[in-house]
Structure 1
Amino acid sequence: MKVVFIGGLGRSGTTLLERLLGQLPGVMPLGEITHLWERDLRGNEMCACGATFSHCEFWERVGNSAFGSWEAVDVERINALKATIDRTRHIPALASKKLAPAQHQLVSEYAGYFEKIYTAAAKDTNARLIVDSSKHASLAYCLRWSPNIDLRVMHVVRDARGVAYSWTKQVRRPESPTGDQMTRYSPAKAAILWNAQNAAFSLLARRGVPVRRVRYERIIQRPRKVIASLARFCDLDLVETDLNFIGDGWADLGPSHSAAGNPMRFTVGRIPIRSDEAWTEDMPDGTRRMVSTLTRPLLGRYGYLNEDEILPEEQPLQTGRTAGGE
């Protein structure tokens, strides 16, 4: 089963990338499957199609095909497995060349739940490629151990200062029946998480997983070119008209069944594609310097020169499909 995992820290443009990829023929975006168990199975939150999870015909078919029914899924068991292996602190062990037998069994069981969903969704839609935008590096490390998943990773990076600023915003989760707000982080915590997640994906590329790094700014500036390049990375054969949904500063998005993620997943129709650079004016100077200091090594590596400007010439997208593909 061919799966593209979109990774990176939230507020980096991952949902936009998922939506754009999801318009390509043969591609089925599923949203952030890591949250499906709690938010959808337990919380019965809203699918991107507008129906609650329990009333979405697509997800009902997927559950029946994957597990017999969603009622057969032991969410407590999945949560226990997640707490045991799917955490950033476990990445060093998951990155090893060989897992201890007991750990391998747990990782295989955990990844198996995701594999069943991917397979059922692909079968239901005749998709050649499944997109999971779960973002968390530790889950990608778990999935790499599944022999039945042909895993490709798209590592999305954005200027750490823009990410940190975005995490301070209050954003309502429209799919939540209680009107919950999306998680917020302080700039310092966002910077630390930015370092951890991005460094983890760099290591993953050296463990034999095909990883393509793409900058948020590049997606905004040249979306058509980026999507065409990423399609080649996924071995998708496109014709020029397959990209006609992307224009100059806009994209036409159709409905989807994204199970969880940014509120943008509910948007259907023509959307503007423009850079969100509010942080350059609204972020206090002291906060900007603090985030810059905490993230400086990777800021330089990814082409963000200093706290006042970003590199105008975009580094080329990575094309290697071997370890160290960045």
Structure 2
Amino acid sequence: MNDLTVLYIAGYGRSGSTVLDVLLGGHPRVVSVGELVFLGSDWQSEDRKCACEEPYENCPFWKGLFKDSREVNSLERVVRDIEHRHALPRLLFDAHSEEEKRDYRRRTRKLFKYIAQQGRADLVVDSSKSGRQAAGRFWALKNIAGLDVRVLHLVRDGRAALRSVVEKGSNWALEGHIDEKRWLGTQTTVGWVLANTIAWRLGRSLGSDRYYRVKFEDLLRAPEETLREIGDFVGVGLEPVIQRVARDEVFEVGHNVGGNRIRHRRQIRLEKTDMPNPHPWSDLNSHHQILFAAFGQWLNTALGYEW
């Protein structure tokens, strides 16, 4: 475990984390596994599968992780009790019992050791981000599990993230696992603000050597430069990935958990563009323009997105 590093992609959904996760997984020293926070719940659900389209208990990557369903249930319980947003005050004030922390440490370290061995890698990419169920995840991985965690805060113009959700719907609803929520625009705006605020505040408290912020738009405009910066941050030369992106190659999706539904395409190519979001307000109707201007643009501006 001393040689293992976790690159944690923090932030909010619809910000390109699945694409970046898969790109990084194209490096021989890196294994990308998607949104690990959902592993337990997905494993228990009959209609949710690994990105390879196999049920987790049959997947060649994951099937050796758990002995029985009780281990799956235990991982799901301990993750929910420590990493969920409702547990964030207890986590930050170190209010969990020693027994709870030992259980979390044991199960989490076992999980990451298994992933590293299966992927024959010393860098694991976990793109669970910082939504409701994973608000405290990177903090717990570092401060309770004792893992070497580097937080990559991936941000996207909140207006583009909002437009993506209200036009297309949430990923889980699109995949048929839940009914679409009411007030989707309001929930998305609030969720975007909370997730990015948590990622920013907690991430920066770890120090500049463990927190780095990247714009998804920069990855689309200047992928080679952006990937080089990420490699410098995490201490892995990403030239093999950079060269493949420069050649416009496709990247195979591995055995990712959760994430954007594009993971089911099995192959992903980075779609470069010089102008990812030239007219951000025009893509929203008047209701969502007012909503985001009132509640989200203050953070959008702080993250470097002009009015």
Q: Same fold by TM (over 0.5)? A: yes
Contact 1:41/1:70 (CA < 8 Å) preserved in 2?
Answer: no
Contact 2:47/2:177 (CA < 8 Å) preserved in 1?
Answer: no
Partner in structure 2 of residue 224 of structure 1: 224
Partner in structure 1 of residue 242 of structure 2: 243
Compared with structure 1, are the counterparts of its residues 127 and 208 closer, same or farther at alpha carbon in structure 2 (3 Å cutoff)? Answer: same
Query: Structure 1 residue 214: deviation in Å?
Result: 0.7
After TM superposition, list the pairs within 5 Å mapping 1:44-123 onto structure 2: 45-61=48-64, 63=65, 67=66, 69-75=67-73, 77-96=74-93, 99-100=94-95, 102-123=96-117
Alignment deviations for residues 42-80 of structure 1 (CA, whole Å, 9 cap, x no partner): 43632222322222111113x1xxx4x2445151x4444
Which is worse superposed, 80-89 or 31-40? 80-89
Structure 2: distance between partners of 1:166 and 1:2: 32
Amino acid at match of 1:231: G
Contact 2:204/2:211 (CA < 8 Å) preserved in 1?
Answer: no
Structure 2: distance between partners of 1:175 and 1:128: 34
Partner in structure 1 of residue 136 of structure 2: 138
Partner in structure 2 of residue 167 of structure 1: 165
Query: Structure 1 residue 133: deviation in Å?
Result: 0.9
Contact 1:44/1:53 (CA < 8 Å) preserved in 2?
Answer: no
Contact 2:105/2:146 (CA < 8 Å) preserved in 1?
Answer: no
Compared with structure 1, are the counterparts of its residues 175 and 33 closer, same or farther at alpha carbon in structure 2 (3 Å cutoff)? Answer: farther
**5+ residue gaps, structure 2:** none
Amino acid at match of 2:243: N
Partner in structure 2 of residue 191 of structure 1: 189
Partner SS for 2:196: helix
Structure 1: distance between partners of 2:41 and 2:220: 32
Query: Structure 1 residue 280: deviation in Å?
Result: 4.5
Compared with structure 1, are the counterparts of its residues 298 and 105 closer, same or farther at alpha carbon in structure 2 (3 Å cutoff)? Answer: farther
Which is worse superposed, 272-281 or 18-27? 272-281
Amino acid at match of 2:246: G
Compared with structure 1, are the counterparts of its residues 246 and 186 closer, same or farther at alpha carbon in structure 2 (3 Å cutoff)? Answer: same
Compared with structure 1, are the counterparts of its residues 204 and 255 closer, same or farther at alpha carbon in structure 2 (3 Å cutoff)? Answer: same
Query: Structure 1 residue 225: deviation in Å?
Result: 1.5
Query: Structure 1 residue 289: deviation in Å?
Result: 2.4
TM-score of the pair, normalised by structure 1: 0.80
What is the aligned length?
Answer: 293
Partner in structure 2 of residue 10 of structure 1: 13
Contact 1:29/1:132 (CA < 8 Å) preserved in 2?
Answer: yes
Percentage identity across paired residues of the two chains: 24
TM-score of the pair, normalised by structure 2: 0.84
Structure 1: distance between partners of 2:179 and 2:33: 19
Give the one of 112, 123, 129 matched to 1:129.
123
Partner SS for 1:135: coil
Partner SS for 2:12: coil
Compared with structure 1, are the counterparts of its residues 147 and 186 closer, same or farther at alpha carbon in structure 2 (3 Å cutoff)? Answer: closer
Partner SS for 1:55: coil
Amino acid at match of 1:90: A
Amino acid at match of 2:193: N
Partner SS for 2:116: helix
Residue 234 in structure 1 maps to residue 234 in structure 2: yes
Compared with structure 1, are the counterparts of its residues 300 and 170 closer, same or farther at alpha carbon in structure 2 (3 Å cutoff)? Answer: closer
Residue 180 in structure 1 maps to residue 174 in structure 2: no
Partner in structure 1 of residue 36 of structure 2: 33
Contact 2:7/2:151 (CA < 8 Å) preserved in 1?
Answer: yes
Contact 1:187/1:287 (CA < 8 Å) preserved in 2?
Answer: yes
Contact 2:106/2:145 (CA < 8 Å) preserved in 1?
Answer: no
Query: Structure 1 residue 6: deviation in Å?
Result: 0.9
Query: Structure 1 residue 113: deviation in Å?
Result: 2.5
Alignment deviations for residues 245-296 of structure 1 (CA, whole Å, 9 cap, x no partner): 1037x44212411122211222344625146649644411231122122013
